[in-house]
Amino acid sequence: MDLFRDHELNGWAKAAWCLFLIVFPPLAALVYLIFRGHGMRDRAIKEQADAKKQFDDYVRETASTTPVDELHKLDQLRQSGGITDEEYAKMKAKLIN
């Protein structure tokens, strides 16, 4: 529901809208669309853009795993101290073979 995605409204305002929607559903929905409708579109577009970015990042991360990428990640891990030089050598040999 768009009401809960709206970060401009505080908790009390959201509670008031919910109460209004429960007591007078058709009128509340109409009033909400009139006064808050422009923001619904903006929030929906932003949510879709965020979802697309997350999906693109996921695809890029999983699809572009070449041996060169793996070696680069291993080197970064070694430089940051995430793995030892011995572990790096073992994993590098495993990737190359």
Question: Which DSSP string do the residues of 15-53 spell out, in sequence order?
Answer: HHHHHHHHHSHHHHHHHHHHHHHHHHHHHHHHHHHHHHH
Tokens of 31: 């009033």
pLDDT at 37: 82
Per-residue pLDDT of the chain (97 residues; tens, 9 = 90+): 677 777 778 889 889 988 998 999 999 889 988 888 888 888 889 999 999 999 999 988 787 678 888 899 999 999 999 999 999 999 999 988 8
What is the pLDDT, as a whole number, of residue 63? Answer: 78
Task: Give me the pLDDT at residue 53, please.
Answer: 96
Extents of the domains making up the chain = 1-64, 65-97
